[in-house]
Amino acid sequence: MNDDQLYLKVTEEVTNGKIDPALWAKAIAKALGDEDKGKYEYINLRVEQLKESPQNSSSQPGDERYMPPGAIVTPLPDDDTKGGGSTDTFTVEDDDTPENPSSDSATTYESSSFFKKLISGEFGLAKTYWGFAIGIGFLLYIFSFAIGSMGSPALSIIWILGLYTYQVIVWIGVWRAASLYNGPMIWAGLAKFAVILGALMAFGQLATIFNP
């Protein structure tokens, strides 16, 4: 096939909703999330794919070899009443999820996802600093008095180690959130300064506790 025939073939595939999910995702990524631009990027990528594999030029993206288990490609018409034309928006859904996931595995996944977002600073600077570092940190500090009043050295040591483990995670989260912060740089700088100051104070307290 020549270029004209390949472009015609791929355009027909797109119109009929026969989309290669992996190639579509690549096209959307290249278009920075713009589905209209991604559609044309997909056509170019698909044509290049057919050029590189002429022996597969008769295959369709709707074939099973192109589709991951449970993937559903659905063309969604988007009427353009002003221009009198229409464009097609394609969505790819992955239905390859367990029907009855266990509550234990779901809870474990949510917990790991939470700490992963926290330590990577994905919650944002304000929420990470004021919510997790200051808010929850203050509550844990108050609760430390109750733990200390129980008179159990072993429990106190376990609590202290757990508390400082949490603080280290939060410090890393605040530092990374500050690095990702797009607002005034003074707030990012103050947040990082607070992390350094808090870490120095914490290490000083630990030295006092374990080496009085």
- The structural domains of the chain, with segments of one domain joined by +, span 3-94, 103-210
Q: What is the percentage of the chain residues whose pLDDT exceeds 70?
A: 69
* Residues 202/167, Cβ–Cβ less than 8 Å: yes
Query: How many CA atoms does the CB half-sphere of 93 hold within 13 Å?
Result: 7
Q: What is the percentage of the chain residues whose pLDDT exceeds 90?
A: 8
Instruction: Specify which of 36-40, 63-67, 106-110 reaches the highest per-range mean pLDDT.
Output: 36-40
Judge whether residue 193 has pLDDT over 90: yes
Determine the pLDDT at residue 109. 55
| Per-residue pLDDT tens digits for 114-149 | 888 888 888 888 889 999 888 888 888 788 778 878
| Backbone torsion region of residue 79, taken as left when φ is above 0, otherwise alpha when ψ lies between -120 and 50, otherwise beta | beta
End-to-end CA distance of the chain: 82
Higher pLDDT among residues 44 and 202, named by residue? 44
Higher pLDDT among residues 133 and 151, named by residue? 133
- Report the distance separating Cα 145 and Cα 55, nearest Å: 74
Dihedral, CA of residue 183, residue 186, residue 189 and residue 195, to nearest 10: -90
Tokens at 131, concatenated: 């919510």
User: How far, in whole angstroms, is CA 93 from its chain's centroid?
Assistant: 17
- Report the distance separating Cα 190 and Cα 120, nearest Å: 19
Judge whether residue 98 has pLDDT over 70: no
| Per-residue pLDDT tens digits for 53-75 | 755 545 555 444 444 444 444 54
| Per-residue pLDDT tens digits for 165-192 | 888 999 899 999 999 888 889 998 999 9
Determine the pLDDT at residue 86. 46
Judge whether residue 50 has pLDDT over 60: yes
Determine the pLDDT at residue 20. 85
- The pLDDT-based confidence of 110 (bands split at 50, 70, 90) is low
- pTM of the predicted model over 0.75: no
Radius of gyration of the chain (CA): 27
- The one-character DSSP state at 81 is T
| Per-residue pLDDT tens digits for 1-30 | 677 888 888 888 888 888 888 888 888 888
